[in-house]
Structure 1
Amino acid sequence: MKRKLSILLLFLLFMVAALSLVACSDNSDTDTSSNDDGATEENNSDEPLTLTFFNADGEEKSFDDPVAQKITEQTGIKLEMDYPVGGNDEAIPLMIASGDYPDLIFAKGDIGKLIEAGGVIKLDDLIEEKGDNLKAMYGDQLDRLRNSVDDPSIYTLGTNGVKKAKWEPCCSLQIQLDVLRELGYPQITTLEEFEAAITEYKEMYPEINGQETIGISLLGSDWRWLITVGDKASQLAGIPGDGQWSINDETGEAIYKFLEPDVKEYFRWLNGINDKGLLDQESFTHTYDTYISKLSSGRVLSIADDDWNFVDADKALQSNGMEHRTYAPLPVTVKPENTHQALKDYGFSGGWGIAISSTSEHQERAFEFLDWMASEEAQVLVNWGIEGENYDIVDGERVMQEDDKERMNTDSDYSKETGVGYYVYPFPQWGNGAVDSNGQPITPNTEQAIIDNFHETEKEVLAEYGMENWIDWYPPTEELGISNHGEAFNYTIEAGSDLQIIQQKADDLTEQRITQAILGAPEDFDASWDAMIEELEAMDIEKANEEMTQKTLDVMELWGTK
């Protein structure tokens, strides 16, 4: 709203100024030669050009931190950043309805709606003519940016790193380090072993810091239901990270994942631990802030979450002297025969990215800015910060300053205040596995840096298990293979298609019915589940399976991996 009001005010001021000039000037004496090309005037100005940028994953933030200032210095561009207030998922439809688009748009899964509405431009010609940095960054992966077999145009510059290394596990159940220490460092690879550990520890310590101990907490009250409830079920069932789908990487066959038997068994387990009083009773009602506050108190023994979602709690625990209450990711699966996919290499997935709007008056400047963000200079800046302020050159190599290393681990506002790491996502990025022209890592997050940054309790626990890094617990990347189809949640699904409509209905239904099944009586679980499956069949989930299978096959054809 502030941005729209500002634009309106500037427009009115411009009109007043323009009318004043008309009234006071003699047309015969006016020299318009310097105004024939607005772009020329813009480029000659000493003032930076402001581009409006909508970030679907953004937050309230001004583009004025030290790294942002350096970006402006190098590009002549400032960003006026907007985001969906309160997680509003109607932001893109409202843009389309009004025809009022910012210059740059990161729409995530709604990019298909913008393409259909003509709200964003094709980037193919700009990439060919002006995209040297982007072409160098994407290399032979450029085709993965293409929209579809029917429309093989490029509309977005992908947010995922092109060269990714798996130095940290994702998608796991997590348990407090102190639980592992107190119980003598047990092996925990099954749900039964996990449940036994939190049960025993909770009985030993019914209260922590004067508050009731919680066995496990979820965050199922908003969109994070997908992360802490839905995704954990498929991940622990050994299903790779394809969002709401279980996909055969060889045949392309796609199945709506909640139809998979092992996914059901994970929810049966949650239903059982809820009945035993181990599940946080506010798991489906508390807010994100309340969830983080609980974790930060140290009284939540375990979570089903990804590191990026609870990083603020992790830093709070460390800064408050409770590093022993931070979490270790466990290689738990529903059944022993399930292979955990935490270290799966999906290749460069293309898909979601930043687009340039069709109404922008600065399309070429916007593209040039994005191309610069893909340069080596930019990648070093956004990942490492400013030489002499955030890192130093020691023996020819970049080394983070000690204060910055400390703040990275303990201060949740570090990135936002300094800009270091803040502008990596959702902009084009080389990836944590890339190296610069001197052979140095393009990010400070190398595996050795990760190991060095573990706090003392982590190092103690890892040593007891004979490991250096948490990834040592998991099936290695080399054994899991590289995905032929990328990550299905990144696919552009055509707005209004049968697939989009059915999946949306199915997602709404499963979130509601699975939550009810988890919180219900154990003797009612099977009946509740069977009723949900009947509802899915009634909405023709099989047609969605067929269409997602075809979508996957089309992607593999487009990428040349079929």
Structure 2
Amino acid sequence: MKLPKKVVAVASALAMVGLLTSCIGGAPEERAAISEFPEKWDEEITVDVFDGVANYMGIQEGWFGDLVKKKFNMKLNFIAPNVAGGGDTLYNTRVSAGNLGDLIVIDKGMKLDELVQGGLVLDSAPFYPAMTNVEKFDTAVTHLNEGKDGIFAFPTMMSSIKPTEPDGGVDPSFGPYLRWDLYKQLGYPELNTLEDVLPVLKQMQDLEPTAPNGAKVYALSLFKDWDSNGIVTAKQPAAFYGYEDMGFAVAKADGSDYQALLDDDSEYMRALKFYHEANKLGLIDPESTTQNYDTMFSKVQNGQVLFSWWPWLGQSAYNNDANTQAGKGFEIVPLKDMNVLTFGAEVYGGAQTFAIGSKAKDPERIAAFIDWLYSPEGRHANDGKVMAAAGPKGLTWELDDSGQPALTELGRKIFIEGDAEVPAEWGGGSFVDGGSQMNVSAVLPADIDKETGLPFSYRTWPTYQALVETPLSADWKAKMGGAPTTMDYLRDNDQLLVATGASYTTPTDSSEIQTLRKQVEPIVVQYSWKMVFAGTDAEFDQLKADMQEEAKGLGYDKVLEVDLERAKERNEEREKVAKEFG
């Protein structure tokens, strides 16, 4: 185990006399170092969990709450700013009161540093020797607490996977996903590049102009509630070619190319032109300018949309059992020149961290709970809410006669049919509703479970792959040369660009850059939408010129300079991590 040098010095010296010092609420308190946690906890406690990414307020119910109660005699009471509303109001109020929570899920970087400096999080060094599951990721723990005189936080989304390998399982983060059944009816036409998709989408829309609910079908349906530095859906096609944005900069994930968002030949402008041409062909839903993601998602569910930028949209919404058994559904359709962006396993962890509040009721028990989240049992259980890992062994999965992990009958109902009731001895209620409300994983579902030799994600298990074989997936695999998954196909055909998992944290804007950015962003968004729905090519070109001129007049170039520098810093960090760990 490699503790930070400062912690080693303090721990070694004070462990000899059996004491460690930590700061709780600004007051020093002697705390004995421990080497292992108790097997049971006699007194029931309720722990306030301030969770910056949770979408639930109140006591954790259901099977996960039951599991935590049995193991730790502890209830989790979630305090979620996402639910409370008001932006940072709840956070600021609790920080001002000097008690954010007993267990804290917070972004690393500025907010974490602010809490450490303010004495709102506990130095967990006394508990670290007992945290045998966390210590497997000691390099990341060391990195996260670098410059701090102690161990104040623990990283999330950890993995033993190399940072140059994808952090996912069967699908990349992005890709051109089309209604495969209609694509098949057209004879699987070859697509050399993005623009070749448009005539195929036109033919697909002509094949199925009306959805089962009687509504008109559009090849493309956009939405605007995720827009920020541009139209969010106009930034997605760039990912098919390995690009990602950094504010007003657009960078290829391998550092081979850097673009300005509003340059004539940028990937963003290419996407706007793509949508403009699509609209001229009658392929874009006219409600795109006013609808939100949820409205658009429901249209995909109803069969009113034929194209998806992400597997977690098209496949999640439309590929239900009835459709896939009928051979209908979304699958990735390869473009010959694509180089799909996906993200590597973060060597130093994801954006969120776990920390123990300085006024925690029972910090040792919370440390034991955090450590459990990194254990095989904790990994399977905590991911159950997002249905990435399989939930508790013995409930939703078990080892079959050949030693392979396989879903139980209950597990099949949950993960294939959508949900099921949990037995009373496991807490009862709906499995989905009773899953962990933390909304963050300590370890990636793609990480390997040493008991099975396979990823924690049940979707990658051979037993699951055989279970969910449908006419749709069988036809796609046959056409894709027998590739078992999308990720396998892209890997085998050298069409996957992995952005090394370097855990780069974007610096906070200066007040000047923040002001300029807020001036420019709405101009880019407004003009971009107008360009998509421009009546003629000449109007499109004029709107583009007007957007470029107005953006520059409001400080675009100054913000771009900052963003380009950050994009290059991110790439330098990736190169460094790839060299050290890849």
Task: Give the TM-score band, short-chain normalised.
Answer: 0.7 to 0.9
Query: Between the two proteins, what is the percent identity of the paired residues?
Result: 16
Amino acid at match of 1:58: N
Deviation at 1:55, TM superposition (A): 4.0
Q: Would the aligned equivalents of 2:218 and 2:284 in 1 still touch at CA under 8 Å?
A: yes
Tell me how many residue pairs correspond in the alignment. Answer: 511
- Letter paired with 2:88: I
Give the Å deviation of 1:547.
4.7
Instruction: Tell me how far 1:529 sits from its aligned partner.
Output: 2.7
Structure 2 CA distance, aligned partners of 1:61 and 1:160? Answer: 27
C-alpha distance in 2 between matches for 1:553 and 1:124: 33
Corresponding position of 2:417:
410
Shift of 1:384: 2.9
Structure 2 CA distance for partners of 1:555 and 1:156, relative to 1, 3 Å: farther
Q: Which amino acid aligns with 2:101?
A: P
| Larger CA deviation: 410-419 vs 349-358 | 410-419
> 1:394-414 deviations in whole A, cap 9, x for unaligned?
234432114422431331689
Q: Tell me the SS of whatever aligns to 2:101.
A: coil
How far apart are the structure 2 equivalents of 1:167 and 1:459?
15
In structure 2, C-alpha distance between the alignment counterparts of 1:134 and 1:79, rounded to whole Å: 21
SS of aligned partner of 2:286: coil
Q: Are 2:62 and 2:431, in contact at CA under 8 Å, matched by a contact in 1?
A: yes
SS in 2 for 1:79: strand
State yes or no: 1:175 paired with 2:178.
yes
Aligned amino acid, residue 541 of structure 1: V
Alignment of structure 1 residues 403-442 onto 2, 5 Å = 403-411=410-418, 417-418=430-431, 422=436, 425-437=439-451, 439-442=453-456
User: Which digits, 9 at most, give the CA deviation of each residue in 1:479-505, with x for residues without a partner?
Assistant: 8676456365xx253365666665555
Given that 1:374 and 1:429 are in contact with CA atoms closer than 8 Å, whether structure 2 keeps it comes out as: yes
CA distance in 2, matches of 1:559, 1:127: 29
Identify which of 457, 463, 481 aligns with 1:443: 457
Q: 1:347 to 1:407 in 2, by over 3 A?
A: same
2-side partners of 1:57 and 1:225: how far apart? 25
Does residue 398 of the first structure (1) align with residue 405 of the second (2)?
A: yes
Which residue of structure 2 aligns with residue 95 of structure 1?
A: 91
Partner amino acid for 2:284? Answer: L
410-419 or 450-459, which deviates more: 410-419
Partner SS for 1:207: coil
Which of 476, 499, 507 aligns to 1:461? It is: 476
Q: TM-score, normalised by structure 2?
A: 0.73
Q: TM-score if structure 1 supplies the norm length?
A: 0.76
Distance 1:48 1:203 in 2: 61
Q: Which residue of 1 aligns with 2:308?
A: 303
Deviations 1:436-493 (A, max 9, x none): 25635433232635633243222123313433332354255988676456365xx253
The answer for the alignment partner of 1:213 in structure 2 is 217
**Partner SS for 1:52:** strand
> What's the offset of the Cα at 1:423?
6.3
Structure 1 letter corresponding to 2:391: G
Of 242-251 and 67-76, more deviation after overlay is shown by: 242-251
Q: 2:421, 2:506 → 1: CA distance?
A: 34
- 1:229, distance to aligned residue in structure 2 (A): 0.8
> Quick one: distance in 1 between partners of 2:183 and 2:516?
43
Q: Does 1:533 align with 2:548?
A: yes
Q: Contact 2:183 / 2:204 at 8 angstroms: preserved in 1?
A: no
Partner residue of 2:283 out of 269, 272, 278: 278
Q: Structure 1: which amino acid aligns with 2:73? A: G
Match of 1:112 in 2: 110
**Aligned partner letter, 1:215:** A
Once the two structures are overlaid, the 10-residue window that deviates more, 549-558 or 185-194, is: 549-558
Q: 1:417 is aligned with what amino acid?
A: S
What residue is the counterpart of 1:388 in the other structure? 394
Structure 2 counterpart SS, 1:418: coil
Distance 1:428 1:266, change over 3 A: same
Cα pair 2:155 2:442 within 8 Å, conserved: yes
Name the structure 1 match of 2:26. Answer: none
Q: Secondary structure at the match of 2:176?
A: strand
Give the whole-Å Cα distance in 2 for the aligned partners of 1:421 and 1:203: 42
What's the counterpart of residue 552 of structure 1? Answer: 570
The 10-residue stretch of structure 1 (182-191 or 405-414) with the greater mean CA deviation from structure 2:
405-414
Q: Describe how 1:46-61 pairs up with structure 2 within 5 A.
A: 46-59=43-56
Question: 2:344 maps to what in 1?
Answer: 345
Q: Is the contact between residue 314 and residue 330 of structure 2 (CA under 8 Å) also seen in structure 1?
A: no
Q: What residue number does 1:290 align with?
A: 295
Matched, 1:374 2:374: yes
Q: Measure, in 2, the Cα distance between the counterparts of 1:201 and 1:248.
A: 31
**Cα displacement string for residues 115-164 of structure 1 (whole angstroms, at most 9, x for unaligned residues):** 3365653767367444331121x2544455357x8999864522355533
In structure 2, distance between residues paired with 1:236 and 1:557: 22
| Equivalent residue letter for 2:92 | I
**Paired AA for residue 280 in structure 1:** D
Residues in 2 aligned to 1:87 and 1:246: alpha-carbon distance in whole angstroms = 34
1:191 aligns with 2:194: yes
Give the letter for the 1:277 counterpart. G
Alignment partners' CA distance in 2, 1:146 and 1:247:
29
Distance in 2 between residues matched to 1:518 and 1:412, nearest whole Å: 40
- Kept in 2: contact 1:158–1:353 (CA 8 A): yes
Q: Note the aligned Cα RMSD (angstroms).
A: 4.2
What does the per-residue CA deviation read over 1:56-100, in whole Å, with 9 as the maximum and x for residues that have no partner?
252468522213311331123322224345795x43354125525
Three-state SS of the structure 2 residue aligned to 1:328 is strand
Indicate the residue corresponding to 1:12 in structure 2.
none
Distance 1:214 1:504, change over 3 A: same
Report the CA distance shift for 1:430/1:239 in structure 2 as closer, same or farther (over 3 A). closer
- Look up the match of 2:360: 361
* Secondary structure of the corresponding residue to residue 175 of structure 1: strand
Q: Contact conserved, 1:392 with 1:398, CA < 8 A, in 2?
A: yes
Q: 1:499 to 1:448 in 2, by over 3 A?
A: farther
Q: Which has the higher helix share?
A: 1
| Contact map agreement 1:503 1:544 (CA 8 A) in 2 | no
Query: Are the aligned partners of 2:49 and 2:101 in contact in 1 as well (CA < 8 Å)?
Result: yes
Is residue 153–residue 356 contact of structure 2 (8 Å, CA) maintained in 1?
A: no
Q: Which residue of 1 aligns with 2:243?
A: 239
Contact 1:72 1:78 in 2 (8 A): yes
- Specify whether residues 161 and 60 from structure 1 end up closer, same or farther in structure 2 by C-alpha distance, changes over 3 A only: farther
Q: Which moved more, 1:358-367 or 1:513-522?
A: 358-367
SS of aligned partner of 1:428: coil
The residue type equivalent to 2:282 in the other structure is G
Aligned counterpart in structure 2 of residue 75 of structure 1, from 60, 72, 75 = 72
Does the CA contact (< 8 Å) of 2:222 and 2:288 recur in 1? Answer: yes
State the Cα distance separating 1:171 from its structure 2 match: 0.7
Q: CA 1:535–1:162 in 2, change beyond 3 Å: closer, same or farther?
A: farther
Could you tell me which runs of 5 or more consecutive residues in structure 1 were left unpaired when the two chains were aligned.
1-35, 38-42
**Partner SS state of residue 211, structure 1:** coil
1:131-146 alignment, distance < 5 Å = 131-136=131-136, 138-143=137-142, 145=144
Q: What secondary structure is seen at the aligned counterpart in 2 of 1:214?
A: coil
Q: Amino acid of the residue matched to residue 389 of structure 1?
A: L
Distance in 2 separating the partners of 1:439 and 1:524: 58
**Measured at CA, do residues 220 and 548 of structure 1 come closer, stay the same or move farther in structure 2, by a change above 3 Å?**
same
Note if 1:229 corresponds to 2:228. Answer: no
Distance 1:60 1:194 in 2: 44
Once the two structures are superposed, residues 285-331 of structure 1 have per-residue CA deviations (whole angstroms, 9 ceiling, x without a partner) of 22333222211211222223x2334665236x435777544211233
Distance 1:214 1:400 in 2: 37
Please state how far the C-alpha of 1:371 moved relative to its aligned partner: 1.6
Q: Residue 47 of structure 2 contacts residue 103 of structure 2 at CA under 8 Å; is this kept in 1?
A: no
**SS in structure 1 of the partner of residue 449 of structure 2:** coil
Structure 1 residue matching 2:49: 3-state secondary structure = strand
Which AA in structure 2 matches 1:548?
R
Q: How does 1:8-27 map to 2 (within 5 A)?
A: none
* Cα separation, partners in 2 of 1:447 and 1:265, compared to 1, 3 Å: farther
1:9-68: CA deviation from partner (whole Å, max 9, x where unpaired): xxxxxxxxxxxxxxxxxxxxxxxxxxx99xxxxx96432433323242524685222133
| SS of 1:283 mapped into structure 2 | helix
Bigger shift: residues 473-482 or 353-362? 473-482
